[in-house]
Amino acid sequence: MIDRARILQTLALGGPLAVATGYPLHLVVDVIVTTLVFVVLAATMSIILAVRDVAGRARRRRARFDQLALWRTGVAVMGRVDRQLGEFEMPDTVDGILDSLFGRPLLGDNREPDTARFYAAYRAAHALWSDTAPTDTTAIQAFVDAARDAEQMWRRADDNARDKAQKGTVGEGHHLSHAEYRALRGARAMLALALDPDTEPAEAHLAERKARAILEELVQIPGRLDLHLTEAITAAHLHVPHVPKPSAAEGDRP
């Protein structure tokens, strides 16, 4: 605190300042005191503003950190959905291919309501997914919510497809007759034979054609899975001439 009395005493002892200015000593003191007050206030305000600026930057950094953490949550969810969808459409084992075709075929049939709902939710989430996280928290939350919805719809569609496959139900609610069920079992065995590298190429090719004829009557195979099946059989028998059927893999995805 500025001690006006002390300043007055000091100036009274000094004397020359008052004489030099030609003003009464108490007026000189008032001017000095006022000046010092303004200097102190200015310095104080500068410190306050600097502290506020530092605090503001820290808050913005924390807010962005929270945004990025939330965005990564959505990305992780979509990563799981993409991986599981990839395992259905492009499985890397023979058992995986057979499971997709016979264990849950309705997962690739857009006529199935649960499957249609999954693909709608999946497309909606991908539409909100960008290479970099937005700066708007609302937009980030919308993406995370859409990703979680897609994952939930995936689980529902996958469970539904497996359950109906167990019950012998295929596209549009058709329930397999005993003859159709036996035909599908035969098609599964023939594709397993076609995918076996130890099978003679001619026999493998014939088995594939017979299996496909049965599948085309009873099961809707999504384009990517269809193409993957062709490539897997070709890879198992590289010396067998095989021309893939035209397939709009992306377009066939519901």
Structural domain includes residue 227: yes
Q: Which domain holds residue 206?
A: 74-252
177 & 236 share domain: yes
The whole-number average pLDDT for the span 120-148 is: 95
Can you give the pLDDT at residue 142?
96
Residue 61, pLDDT score: 81
Would 55 be classed as within a structural domain? Answer: yes
Are 104 and 183 in the same domain? yes
The number of folded domains in the chain is 2
Q: How far apart are CA 143 and CA 122, in angstroms?
A: 11
Q: Does residue 180 share a domain with residue 96? A: yes
The span from the CA of 104 to the CA of 95, in Å, is 13
Q: Is pLDDT at 233 greater than 60 in this prediction?
A: yes
Q: Residue 14: its pLDDT value, please?
A: 47
Whether 225 and 125 share a structural domain = yes
Residues 140-197: tens digit of each pLDDT? 999 999 999 999 999 999 999 999 999 999 999 999 999 999 999 999 999 999 999 9
Same domain, 35 and 136: no
Per-residue model confidence as pLDDT tens digits over 63-103:
888 999 999 999 999 999 999 999 999 999 999 999 999 99
Residue 86 lies in a domain: yes
Same domain, 35 and 107: no
Q: Is residue 68 part of a domain?
A: no
Q: Do 122 and 202 lie in a common domain?
A: yes
Whether residues 56 and 87 share a domain: the answer is: no
